[in-house]
Amino acid sequence: MKKTVIIGLSFILLSCKGNKERFKKETLGIVHFEVPADWEKTSAKGVDSEVTAFVTSACDTVYFEYGSYNNSFDESKIIISDSVIYNALKENSLEKNIAFSDNKELDNSQGIFLDNYYYYETISNHKTKVMLPKKNEKGQMGLYFENIDKKQNNFSIYTLHPLKGIDSLHFYRLKRSIQIK
């Protein structure tokens, strides 16, 4: 609850007209958005998508992908309720997405072992899958838009780990600035 109040107050402070932070407008495909002026644009290579990356003030990277195939945040965990099978898999497998549970159906349906929270929101008149980390040190942040143009291109923004401090607040401002035209 305390975290929610702090984030809410931070949104208000970021949206105040007296805010002196500078932002720059960017475009990728048909998507327009704003990023902080101190985020540095870097080159990134995509196979079937146009990719842009920005290095944040804390040296984290935020990836932007526009194209047919890109990150849709399909996180999954293998949940095992038999301890013998679980221990054998953990000892003999490189798979890190294995978890043990006494109630695997309930834990799976509630996403207990996932690293992120997921929900849908409408942004610029498009259904958007939002991904937020459950913990400060583990998980990712991201937005995924499916079929945003006539060619059925997708658009995603994501990090490889949670942003911290002011950069996490800038990510929320970035989310509010997205316009798909």
pLDDT in tens, 143-158: 999 999 999 999 999 9
Report which of 163, 63, 150, 74 is spatially closest to residue 111, judged by C-alpha positions. 74
Q: How many domains does the chain have?
A: 2
Question: How confident is the model at residue 110, as a pLDDT?
Answer: 87
In angstroms, the first-to-last Cα distance of the chain is 36
pLDDT of residue 119: 96
pLDDT, position 20: 60
pLDDT given at position 65: 95
Same domain, 94 and 120: no
Angle between helices 2-15 and 166-177 (to 10 degrees): 60
Arithmetic mean of pLDDT over the chain: 87
Main-chain dihedrals φ then ψ at residue 129, nearest 5 degrees: -90, 125
**66 shares its domain with 140:** yes
pLDDT of residue 16: 46
Q: Which residues of the chain are under the pLDDT cut of 50?
A: 4-5, 9, 12-13, 16-19
Whether residues 126 and 39 share a domain: the answer is: yes
Domain with 85, as residue range(s), is: 78-109
Q: Are residues 44 and 100 in the same domain?
A: no
> Of 109, 125, 157, which residue is a domain's last?
109
Assess whether 70 and 82 both reside in one domain.
no
Regarding whether 170 and 98 lie in a shared domain, the answer is no
**Dihedral sign (CA 21, 22, 27, 31):** positive
Q: What is the pLDDT of residue 160?
A: 94
Same domain, 82 and 8: no
* H-assigned helices in 57-144: 83-92, 104-109
Nearest-angstrom CA–CA distance, 35 and 156: 15
Phi, psi dihedrals of residue 51, rounded to the nearest 5°: -125, 135
| Residue-wise pLDDT tens digits, 19-34 | 467 999 999 999 999 9
The pLDDT score that the predictor gives to residue 9 is 46
Task: Indicate if 65 and 98 belong to the same structural domain.
Answer: no
Positions of E strands within the chain:
23-28, 31-36, 40-43, 49-55, 61-67, 78-80, 98-100, 116-123, 126-133, 142-145, 154-159, 179-180
Task: Tell me, yes or no, whether 101 and 86 share the same domain.
Answer: yes
The SS3 call for residue 109 is helix
- On whether both 130 and 70 belong to a single domain, the answer is yes
